[in-house]
Structure 1
Amino acid sequence: MYRFLLTPRWLGILSLALVAATVMVLLGNWQLERYHGRTAINERIDAGLRMAPVPLRAALPAPTGGPGTVGPPPAPERTFTRVTVTGRYDTDTVVLVRGRTVESRVGFEVVTPLVLADGTAVLVDRGWIPPAPGGAVAQPQVPPAPAGEVTVEGRVHASESGDARVAWRAGRLESRRVSVPQLAGELPYPLHGAYLLLDEQTPAADPAFRAVPVGHTNNWQNLGYVVQWWIFAAMTLFGYGWIARREARRLAGVVDERPRDRAAGPGSRAAT
């Protein structure tokens, strides 16, 4: 009854179904890995909010090169670690990161290098401020960084990727991303391989700044994709089986809407 499945046509259909189902299972596995990865990021974000600060060196290796170089990035498990560090702000350098949204408003994040006693520096995201009147890209009035020694508490944030081109405008550096390697080429000291999101500062930060929130990743979306791809894989195999069964019934002369009794032939009991 099912010998037709061994014909080249049906073997080809089976091959396509198996390949499609395998690809869908692999896509589901990939989304499952992304779900676990994003879940780990969310857990690190939550842990960073609860933990006591540790020295910067405990989470972020120091750079060892000369001016314009960048130190090693933090280990993945060290991102969003709360750290404390003391230094002096480079008050002559202002980095404006444009197109950043806080509470549905587009503005700028202000990043200032904090120069440490050993001559290296770490970028500190001091917070968000709205643009000046005139549009979302109008440079704001930036409160000056405090002079003298400053102690910063903040969370380690990995360098950002994407469109990270840096340009000077009105005496300030501007970019769309906090890309440590791109900014390092414009600064006269070696930079640590990540930046800090400011939580607290001594002396206190200017109240004009708003703290930059750390959004959790949407890991549940990835879990939804896992279920979706695996269901598609199961439906592909089920569909192949359903079509094969239907073809087998057709070849056997079985029709869904057939009469209950066939017409009697001349030699049947009904004909006598």
Structure 2
Amino acid sequence: MYRFLLTPRWLGYLALTLVAAAVMVFLGNWQLDRYRGRTAINERIDAGATMAPAPLRDALPAPTGGPGTAGPAPADRLTWTRVTTTGRYDSANVVLVRGRTVDNKVGFEVLTPLVLADGSAVLVDRGWIPPVPGGNATTQPPVPAAPTGEVTVTGRLVASESGGGAVDRRDGKLETRRISIPRLAKQLPYAVSGGYVLLDQQTPAADPAFQAVPIGHTNNWQNFGYVVQWWLFAGMSLVGYGWVARREARRLAGLDGPRGPVDRAAEPAAT
């Protein structure tokens, strides 16, 4: 009854179905890996809210290159953990990161290099400031001065952002759209650590004009939904092949042929 499945045409259908199902299973597994990775990030974010800060160099290796170079990136398992370090702010090389949204307002994040005792620096995201009233997205806002002298900072360790974009110097400040540490390091007169610190606490205290940059959780459940979707599609493709094959078998066996007219007159009358 199912001998037709061994014909070249149906063997081709089977091969296409199996390949399609395998691709869908692969995509589901890929989304599962992304779900696990994003879940791990959310767990580190939550754990960092209560953990004691570790010394910066315990989580982020010191850069070993010369001026204008970036050090190694932090290990994934250490991103979003709390760190602390002490140094002096370099107010001559403030970085404005434009196009950053907080509370549905587009403004600027302000990064300032903190020069450490070994002569290298780590970028510190001191917080978010709103745009100039009446200005546009590129109008530089007034930036509160960084404390002079020795400063101790505590915050979350964040990896360099992917992507690039130009880094320009305008009115004495560097400007960019992405916190790409390798690109920013080229504009600085010292070696820069491969991750930056999102400020949480500072001694002396940070200027109240800064608004804390919120740490958002990743949408890991979206990836889990994609896992279910792709695996369902894989199963449906196999079920669909079986359904079409069964229908073809019934057709060849004459089981799905047209039915003759029903003689209602021959039926017994209802009492």
* TM-score (normalised: structure 2): 0.94
- For residues 10-49 of structure 1, the aligned pairs below 5 Å read 10-49=10-49
- Unaligned ranges ≥5, structure 1: 263-272
> 1:122 aligns to what?
122
In structure 2, relative to structure 1, the CA distance for the partners of 1:55 and 1:159 (3 Å cut) is: same
> 1:63 aligns to what?
63
> 1:265 aligns to what?
none
Q: What residue identity is the alignment partner of 1:173?
A: L
The Cα offsets for residues 12-56 of structure 1, whole Å up to 9 and x where unpaired, read as 111110100010001001100110011111111111111011111
- For residues 151-230 of structure 1, the aligned pairs below 5 Å read 151-230=152-231
Q: What residue identity is the alignment partner of 1:44?
A: R
Matched, 1:147 2:148: yes
**Which SS does the other structure have where 1:119 is aligned?**
coil
Deviation of 1:119 after TM superposition, in Å, equals 0.7
**Does structure 2 retain, via aligned residues, the 8 Å contact 1:72–1:193?**
yes
The Cα offsets for residues 64-87 of structure 1, whole Å up to 9 and x where unpaired, read as 221111111111111111011111
**Which SS does the other structure have where 1:154 is aligned?**
strand
Q: What residue identity is the alignment partner of 2:167?
A: V
Q: What residue identity is the alignment partner of 1:14?
A: L
Q: What residue identity is the alignment partner of 2:207?
A: D
**Which SS does the other structure have where 1:250 is aligned?**
helix
Deviation of 1:164 after TM superposition, in Å, equals 3.2
- Unaligned ranges ≥5, structure 2: 264-271
Between the aligned partners of 2:14 and 2:197, the Cα distance in structure 1 is 55
Instruction: Give the RMSD, CA atoms, in angstroms.
Output: 1.5
Between the aligned partners of 2:153 and 2:255, the Cα distance in structure 1 is 80
> 2:266 aligns to what?
none
**Does structure 1 retain, via aligned residues, the 8 Å contact 2:92–2:173?**
no
Between the aligned partners of 1:187 and 1:54, the Cα distance in structure 2 is 26
Percent identical pairs in the alignment equals 73
**Does structure 1 retain, via aligned residues, the 8 Å contact 2:164–2:180?**
no
4+ long deviations beyond 6 Å: none
Q: What residue identity is the alignment partner of 1:241?
A: G
Between the aligned partners of 2:261 and 2:217, the Cα distance in structure 1 is 63
**Which SS does the other structure have where 1:191 is aligned?**
coil
